[in-house]
Structure 1
Amino acid sequence: MRPVSSPPRATPDVPLDQIDREILRILQGNGRAPYREIARELGVSEGTVRNRVNRLQSDGVLTIAAITDQFALGYRVTAFCLIRVQVGYQASVVEELSRWDDVIYVSSCTGRADLYIQVVCRDHEHLWELLTQRLPSVEGVADVETFQEIKLHKVSYVYPNFGEGAAGPVSE
């Protein structure tokens, strides 16, 4: 089993100035962009870029990660599950599902479900086993509604208009 990854921190809004926003814009387009090239494009020193990236990372604003192609890794099936949880079991169900390698996203939500999860499976048999054996064995799971993804039309990890009122205060 993989270690449970830390969820994004719920930190107060971090003020972003124009240089911060430009660094984030560049890194969203290419997370491997060298600090030297970013500095040249922005007209600042490489040290300024390095210090700001380090601050943005320590403030929880920026995480640089490799995004893989699930299909190239052999995961042919993606599904989304809405899960109703028995009262008093939310934390333990979240903790358990967060440990599963094939559960790649877990969030608490409002509405007709208590949890939203995304799963990746090798094939339909893998999904069947997850839905009919593993999920029902988790204490506190009351009901599961599953949606299988049949065609991906868009995926983006680039947030539009960040720092311009959409994601908190901006300092100039």
Structure 2
Amino acid sequence: MDPLDWALICELCGNARMPYKELAQKFNISDNTVKNRINRLREQGVIKKFGICVSFETLGVEMVSGFVTTDGSENVIELMKQIASQPMVCDICRNADRRYEYWAMVKGASETLGLEGFLSELDGVTNVEIQPVVTFYPNKPPTWVGNTRGKRVTFSRDQLHVLRSLTIDSRLSISQIARQTGFTPRRVRRIILDLQEGGGIHTYVLYDPFALGNMEYRLRISYDKAKTTGQDVVMDLHEKHPELFWWSTITTNNPIVDVGLIIDSPGKGPPIAAEIKAAAYTESVEDFVSYPRVVHGINRLNTHLLELLKEAGL
């Protein structure tokens, strides 16, 4: 996967329905180049699906992350499966210090406490940490679900009919959706536009950055908040290494930034860590390759949409 492949994926994360012609114009390449690259990424298993989900505001959730510490007696994979069994957990990895780091979408204090209690009772667990975070993806458009909370909306029945088709493939053509719903193409086009402008849904690319043998290089950066902000730390890293940047979270109650980079060899990571350590704003940096990893992504936002369709008898 080269920088252009990655740039195409990131752009489609903001709007999976973006026409190939528009992508071609943005990157100054031909329509066929876009089509061929997207098709190849699908064949290679990098692009898994073009999906759709509701917004954070529509579901009413917040992001949290934390660490699970154990006494070392656990079966690694089994413990990760147990943690990932909770519907609010969207991502978990094992760090170099043998702790398990997780991210979750929770509804209020009751779910936060419930998750903390569940994790604390797992066999072998000695400590659980949990804290609020915000996600920040400067490599993806502002419309990407990780960059905006969107708006809280209630969907009409006609909108739900169209959404049912889009859950199968959010790049379905207007004519295909019209055939499935019985609506006219003009009606379908209007409904999709209303959905996009309403801020209650996001179309995105479900992708696997590890499908071609890449690995995740993690940086946990503590910074001096008198000298910079978490967002500026992330932007500095992204501007220097846009082709490697994957994701970041900014802890809201501590000056800590977590960043994930996609690298194809372990040797590419340490020079970046050294670069960050030398920055005037840096207080400390932890760096490591995370493995193994369980990623559910934004499945809770997907699941809520499926629940709405089921409630509507669709």
Same fold (TM over 0.5): yes
Q: Greater share of strand residues, 1 or 2?
A: 2
Percent sequence identity is 17
Gapped regions of structure 1 (runs ≥ 5): 166-172
For 1:24 and 1:144, the matched residues in 2 are separated by: 43
Size of the alignment, in residue pairs? 163
Q: Is the 8 Å Cα contact of residues 196 and 202 (structure 2) preserved in structure 1?
A: yes
Match of 1:33 in 2: 172
SS at match of 1:57: helix
Q: What is the Cα deviation at residue 110 of structure 1?
A: 3.6
Cα distance in 2 between the residues matched to 1:21 and 1:138? 50
**Structure 2 counterpart SS, 1:143:** strand
Query: What letter is aligned with 1:135?
Result: I
Separation in structure 1 between the aligned mates of residue 250 and residue 195 of structure 2, nearest angstrom: 26
Q: Distance in 2 between matches of 1:21 and 1:137?
A: 52
- d(CA) in 2 for partners of 1:138 and 1:36? 54
Indicate how the Cα distance of structure 1 residues 139 and 14 shifts in structure 2: closer, same or farther if over 3 A, else same.
farther
TM-score (norm 2): 0.43
The separation in 1 between residues aligned to 2:160 and 2:206, in whole angstroms, is 22
What TM-score do you get using the length of structure 1 for normalisation? 0.71
CA contact (8 A) 2:225 2:255 kept: no
Which structure has more relative contact order (CA 8 Å, sep 6+)? It is 1
Contact 1:75–1:120 (8 Å) recurs in 2 = no
Over the aligned positions, Cα root-mean-square deviation in angstroms equals 3.3
Aligned to 1:96: 236
Q: Is the 8 A contact 1:93 1:139 kept in 2?
A: no
Unaligned residue ranges in structure 2 (runs of 5+): 8-137, 309-314
Deviations 1:37-95 (A, max 9, x none): 222222322222222222322344445455554345x6621134332221131142132
Deviations 1:86-125 (A, max 9, x none): 1131142132133232122123224666222221012100
1:51 alignment partner in structure 2: 190
Aligned amino acid, residue 136 of structure 1: K
Provide the residue aligned with 1:148 in structure 2.
289
Q: 81, 89, 94: which one pairs with 2:219?
A: 81
Which residue number in structure 1 is paired with residue 154 of structure 2?
Answer: 15
CA distance in 1, matches of 2:198, 2:278: 38
User: CA–CA distance in 2 between the matches of 1:26 and 1:80?
Assistant: 37
Structure 1 residues 127 and 46: alpha-carbon distance in aligned structure 2, compared to 1, 3 A threshold: same
Change in Cα spacing, 1:127 to 1:25, as seen in structure 2 (3 Å) is farther
CA contact (8 A) 2:139 2:246 kept: no
